[in-house]
């Protein structure tokens, strides 16, 4: 796995934890190092299969 892909996977893994702890999508986005909420949502959905908001609502 290339380093960029590994780093993105790690960011999403940390995002899952932060969303589970109750952080908002925007707070989570910036906490895991994304500069754009829309880029974070696209990456999250591609990897997890649902948007961060959908994920948080189903906890």
Q: Domain residues of the chain, as ranges? A: 3-57
Query: pLDDT at residue 1 above 90?
Result: no
Q: Is 10 left (phi over 0), alpha (psi -120 to 50) or beta?
A: alpha
Name the residue with tokens 């500069």.
35
More confident residue, 49 or 59: 49
pLDDT in tens, 10-25: 999 999 999 999 999 9
According to the model, what pLDDT value does residue 19 have?
Answer: 98
pLDDT tens-digit profile of 25-55?
Answer: 999 999 999 999 999 999 999 999 999 999 9
Distance CA 41, CA 23 (A): 14
Report yes or no: 26 and 18 within 8 Å, Cβ to Cβ.
no
What pLDDT does residue 46 have? Answer: 97
Q: Does domain 3-57 have CATH number 1.10.10.60?
A: yes
């Amino acid at each position: 796995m290339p380093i960029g892909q590994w780093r993105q996977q790690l960011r999403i893994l940390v995002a899952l934890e932060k969303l589970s702890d109750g952080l908002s999508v925007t707070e989570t986005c910036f906490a895991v190092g994304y500069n754009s909420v829309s880029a974070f949502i696209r990456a999250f959905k591609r990897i997890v299969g649902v948007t961060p908001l959908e994920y948080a609502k189903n906890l």
